[in-house]
Amino acid sequence: MLEIGQIVEGKVTGLTGFGAFVSLPEGKSGMVHISEVSNVFVKDIKDHLAEGQDVKVKIIGISPEGKISLSIKKAMEAPKEPPRPKRSRSRTPNVWQGQPERQSSENMSFEDMMARFKQISDDKQTDLKHARETKHGGGYSRRGGRGGN
């Protein structure tokens, strides 16, 4: 008996613009939607499948009417991702942001989190204002405000 989650062998019996029909064991048939053919975008299903081709499919749904939904990409082994380099979690300040590594917010009250957010925001605004004034000579432009004209 075919069940959801089961991986079975089948044969492609027909191709359409929206998917492929596959004959299954027990004289049943199901459909693989075009989005379930490959882990990459499929523009034309004929670039990935051909009639008569043997395929391994995973049963992902069976409707009350008995229609069987299949997936080829879910029947494949998940692609192995390259291992990510591990970052050290040192307690040194984060130089890029100018802020020490922040403690987890799990143990903080809402008021404490808001106060911390406000302090960080104020510090950033002060830094930006200082950088802007330094870049423009510390005063207003000649067009308005201080300065000679």
Structure tokens at 149: 């004209």
Q: Give the pLDDT confidence score for residue 73 in this predicted structure.
A: 92
Q: Give the pLDDT confidence score for residue 20 in this predicted structure.
A: 94
Q: Give the pLDDT confidence score for residue 83 in this predicted structure.
A: 60
69 half-sphere exposure, CB direction, 13 A CA radius: 14
Residues 6+ apart with CB under 8 A from 108: 116
Q: Give the pLDDT confidence score for residue 118 in this predicted structure.
A: 86
Domain boundaries of the chain, sorted by first residue: 7-71, 93-137
Q: Give the pLDDT confidence score for residue 104 in this predicted structure.
A: 56
Which amino acid appears at position 54 of this protein? Answer: D
CATH annotation of 7-71 = 2.40.50.140
How do the pLDDT tens digits run along the chain, 149 residues long? 888 999 999 999 999 999 999 999 889 999 999 999 988 998 899 999 999 999 999 999 999 998 999 999 999 865 555 566 655 555 544 444 554 445 555 667 778 888 888 888 888 888 888 887 776 665 555 555 555 55
Residue 139 has a CB neighbour count (10 Å cut-off) of 10
Structure tokens at 131: 């950088």
Q: Give the pLDDT confidence score for residue 61 in this predicted structure.
A: 93
CB 24 within 8 A of CB 36: no
Q: Give the pLDDT confidence score for residue 144 in this predicted structure.
A: 56
Percent helix, strand and coil across the chain, each to the nearest 5: 25, 25, 50
